[in-house]
């Protein structure tokens, strides 16, 4: 019934094209997607660079519930950015991009369904998939209504979304066996939908600063939602593991580094197309760079953070300059930026390797940064060539690569910091309340 | 207006003209879209003016702790490590202390504040800390006049011999606060309590 209504709203032509594209991807990719989904956070891998091989190797090891919980966070965060990208392309009337984003979103839903099955059981996964897919259809219908300036269709799409919000909230609350209240579950889902619909409204109105603020908030919210769900649905022992500092550091560093890749790709898209949303995109990547520097400050102090940010900022500038040179048709400048990135990779590796206490060598780090930069340059090239499908594939691998790197860095950073922590308990009493202080 | 904003605006105007005069340019129909290339020279490229930030918000050190529910309102002494690797404790029983080798409250990580449960003759600043309930608000004033508030999530009591250093001090990038004092029975031979009481709080 609701699906029938969804088909009536917005532009039928665009929705039909998107759904066809999604079906085509599912049918053609089939088993490959399932295999990839089982192996790592992203389900879009195609080309097999060194980074992809390492990630696949890491993913083939037996994953703990905590590993899977971080993957759930990663997939939910990527769902948010892919859904926003899809809605924006629908508003722009950019069908080619929309089809590529929709295909990537389909792969993300597949991977998430597989993961939900691994974490919470096949029955839960079976219920999850249709509800999740239908909320995406409703979001696209909303974007279509915004694009078409059809207020009636917009109201209709909102009604659809409210119903899916209630269904999803009931589903999550029910699966948690009371640990997640229906009210809390609904608030989380409503906020997710709100981020996406409001960013679409702002984007259509040309208010890119607001649209991009909501884009970031949406990513962080869905990323955190993954932890909330895992915390509510997993057994007690697994929930305790999720709260351990090592897992929190892996999760949080992965969140910031993966967001760096997402936002770098977004600003490069704006650079390559030379569109008026470039400033807002530039502000987003700068905010992420501030967050990364603040993280380094809290781990290693202000001096290291300043050194890190100086190098990291150069890295961001070079990648954006490459995209700009691509837009301007300046092959010499493209070549220069590639060469300068090589210097950055070595310099940054020299800063980070000691921070891991030698757990990652400078050569290893430099290689990982090379992989990262190479993928981002390839993404800019694919985007400039309007190979949006290829760009989405690279974006998925870049995102996944960031989590693999974040995990290694988090473990190295965590061990380095742990070596200098205070030993034992605190002597914070002299006995004046003895007999009273102990009656807990 | 930054340079890249000016060039983007100019590029936008160029695009609008092209859209009207030339029809279907690749990106001209998009919200705020521009068309690369223009007659009379290459179009300005928005990315040319991009500069990455080289600063980040610095969180000021804490100077005061307030827990209204416990009637705690204390300046904060800075604490480091003793030569034996244990944490320093506040010099006065009525004053709390912040472990300055860890995060500042509000930074992404666990900030740790320690206070005495008692002196040899009477209550210390954290005498009632073990009674605090989840949900209680804790305020921290910082040196630059800013404030940050935390909400208690749980209270734990643990033997000092099994002190959970990891859960209290280890880096997480979550902006949290831990309050630590003594509890449990008093070992008169050693002149110290056997346990520590630890309050865990998240940024509110």
Contact status of A336 with chain B (Cβ, < 8 Å) = no
Residue A233 confidence (pLDDT): 84
CA distance A248 to A299: 14
Residue A60 confidence (pLDDT): 42
Q: What is the pLDDT along chain A (440 residues), one digit of tens a residue?
A: 344 333 333 343 444 344 333 333 333 332 222 223 333 333 233 333 333 333 333 444 567 889 999 999 999 999 999 999 999 999 999 999 999 999 999 999 999 999 999 888 898 899 999 999 999 999 999 999 999 999 999 999 999 999 988 998 998 898 888 888 999 999 999 999 999 999 999 999 999 999 999 999 999 999 999 999 888 888 888 888 998 999 999 999 999 999 999 999 999 999 998 888 999 999 999 999 999 999 999 999 999 999 999 999 999 999 999 999 998 899 999 999 999 999 999 999 999 999 999 899 999 999 999 999 999 999 999 999 999 999 999 999 999 999 999 999 999 999 999 999 999 999 999 999 886 655 44
Separation in Å, CA of A328 to nearest CA in chain B: 7
* Residue ranges covered by each domain of chain B: 3-203
Backbone angles phi and psi of B158, in degrees to 5:
-140, 150
* Contact yes or no for A206/A194 (Cβ under 8 A): no
Separation in Å, CA of B85 to nearest CA in chain A: 5
Separation in Å, CA of A379 to nearest CA in chain B: 16
Q: Residue B53: which of A92, A248, A289 has the nearest Cβ?
A: A289
Residue B47 confidence (pLDDT): 86
Backbone angles phi and psi of A207, in degrees to 5:
-90, 75
Contact status of B39 with chain A (Cβ, < 8 Å) = no
Q: Which of B24, B53, B128, B167 to mutate to test the interface with A (most CBs of A within 10 A)?
A: B53
Q: Residue B107: which of A252, A298, A314 has the nearest Cβ?
A: A298
* B61-116 confidence digits (pLDDT tens): 999 999 999 999 999 999 999 999 999 999 999 999 999 999 999 999 999 999 99
CA distance A104 to A110: 10
* Contact yes or no for B47/A271 (Cβ under 8 A): yes
Contact status of B133 with chain A (Cβ, < 8 Å) = no
Please report, for residues A305, B53, B108, B169, the alpha-carbon distance to residue A297 in angstroms, rounded to integers and kept in the order given: 5, 15, 9, 16
Q: Residue A289: which of B52, B87, B109 has the nearest Cβ?
A: B52
Backbone angles phi and psi of B156, in degrees to 5:
-130, 150
Quick one: which of A249, A288, A223 has its CA closest to B176?
A249
Residue A436 confidence (pLDDT): 66
Percent helix / strand / coil, chain B, rounded to 5: 20, 35, 45
| Among the four given CATH numbers 3.40.50.2020, 2.40.260.10, 3.30.390.10, 2.70.70.10, the one describing domain B3-203 | 2.40.260.10
Q: Torsion-angle region of residue A424: left (phi > 0), alpha (psi -120 to 50) or beta? A: left
Contact status of B1 with chain A (Cβ, < 8 Å) = no
Separation in Å, CA of B177 to nearest CA in chain A: 14
Residue A49 confidence (pLDDT): 38
CB contacts < 8 A (A, B): 278
The answer, yes or no, to whether residue B5 has pLDDT greater than 50, is no
* B151-189 confidence digits (pLDDT tens): 999 999 999 999 999 999 999 999 999 999 999 999 999
- List the single residue in B with minimal CA-CA distance to A92: B30
Task: Mark yes or no for CB contact B165/A289 under 8 Å.
Answer: no
Contact status of A208 with chain B (Cβ, < 8 Å) = yes
Q: Residue A426: which of B58, B170, B180 has the nearest Cβ?
A: B180
CA distance A20 to A340: 43
Q: Residue A437: which of B169, B174, B182 has the nearest Cβ?
A: B182
* B7-57 confidence digits (pLDDT tens): 333 333 333 333 333 332 333 334 434 333 334 456 677 888 899 999 999
Q: What is the ipTM of this complex?
A: 0.80
Residue A439 confidence (pLDDT): 46
């Amino acid at each position: 019934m609701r699906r029938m209504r969804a088909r009536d709203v917005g532009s039928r032509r665009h929705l039909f094209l998107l759904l066809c594209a999604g079906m085509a991807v599912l049918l053609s990719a089939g088993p490959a997607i399932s295999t990839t989904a089982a192996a790592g956070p992203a389900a879009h891998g195609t080309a097999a660079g060194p980074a992809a091989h390492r990630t696949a190797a890491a993913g083939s090891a037996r994953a703990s519930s905590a590993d899977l919980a971080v993957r759930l966070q990663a997939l939910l965060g990527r769902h948010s950015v892919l859904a926003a990208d899809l809605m924006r392309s629908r508003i722009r009337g950019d069908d080619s991009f929309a089809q590529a984003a929709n295909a990537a979103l389909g792969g993300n839903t597949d991977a998430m369904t597989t993961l939900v099955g691994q974490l919470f059981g096949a029955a839960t996964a079976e219920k999850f998939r249709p509800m999740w897919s239908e909320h995406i259809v409703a979001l696209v219908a909303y974007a279509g209504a915004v694009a078409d300036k059809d207020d009636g269709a917009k109201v209709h799409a909102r009604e659809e979304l409210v119903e899916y919000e209630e269904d999803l909230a009931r589903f999550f609350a029910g699966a948690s066996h009371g640990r997640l209240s229906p009210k809390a579950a609904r608030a989380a889902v409503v906020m997710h939908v709100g981020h996406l619909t409001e960013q679409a409204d702002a984007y259509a109105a040309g208010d890119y600063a607001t649209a991009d603020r909501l884009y970031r908030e949406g990513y962080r919210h869905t990323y955190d939602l993954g932890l909330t769900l895992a915390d509510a649905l997993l057994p007690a022992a697994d929930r305790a593991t999720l709260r351990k500092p090592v897992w929190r550091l892996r999760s949080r560093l992965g969140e910031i580094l993966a967001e760096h890749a997402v936002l770098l790709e977004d600003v490069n898209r704006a650079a390559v197309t030379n569109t008026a949303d470039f400033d807002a995109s530039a502000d987003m990547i700068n905010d992420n760079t501030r967050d990364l520097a603040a993280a380094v400050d809290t781990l290693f102090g202000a001096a290291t953070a300043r050194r890190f940010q100086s190098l990291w900022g150069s890295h961001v500038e070079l990648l954006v300059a490459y995209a700009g040179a691509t837009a301007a048709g300046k092959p010499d400048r493209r070549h220069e930026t590639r060469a300068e990135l090589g210097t950055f990779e070595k310099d940054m590796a020299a800063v980070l390797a000691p921070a891991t206490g030698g757990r990652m060598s400078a050569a290893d780090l430099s290689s990982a940064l090379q992989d990262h930069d190479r993928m981002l340059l390839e993404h800019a090239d694919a985007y400039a060539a309007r190979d949006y499908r290829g760009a989405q594939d690279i974006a998925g691998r870049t995102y996944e690569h960031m989590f693999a790197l974040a995990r290694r860095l988090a473990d190295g950073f965590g061990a380095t910091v742990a070596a200098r922590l205070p030993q034992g308990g605190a002597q914070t009493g002299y006995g004046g309340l003895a007999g009273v202080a102990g009656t807990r | 207006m930054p340079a890249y904003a000016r060039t983007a605006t100019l590029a936008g105007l160029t695009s609008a003209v092209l859209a009207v005069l030339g029809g279907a340019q690749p990106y001209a129909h998009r919200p705020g879209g521009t068309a690369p290339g223009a007659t009379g020279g290459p179009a300005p490229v928005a990315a040319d003016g991009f500069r990455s930030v080289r600063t980040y918000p610095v969180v000021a050190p804490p100077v005061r702790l307030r827990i209204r529910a416990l009637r705690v309102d204390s300046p904060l002494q800075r604490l480091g490590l003793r030569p034996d690797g244990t944490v320093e404790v506040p010099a006065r029983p009525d004053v709390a202390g912040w472990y300055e080798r860890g995060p500042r409250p509000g930074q992404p990580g666990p900030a740790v504040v320690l206070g005495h449960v008692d002196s040899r003759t009477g209550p210390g600043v954290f005498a009632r800390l073990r009674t605090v309930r989840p949900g209680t608000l804790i305020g921290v004033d910082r040196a630059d006049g800013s404030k940050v508030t935390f909400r208690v999530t749980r209270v734990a009591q643990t033997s000092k011999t099994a002190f959970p250093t990891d859960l209290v001090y280890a880096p997480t990038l979550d902006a949290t606060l831990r309050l630590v004092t003594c509890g449990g029975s008093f070992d008169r031979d050693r002149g110290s309590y056997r346990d520590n009481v630890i309050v865990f709080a998240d940024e509110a």
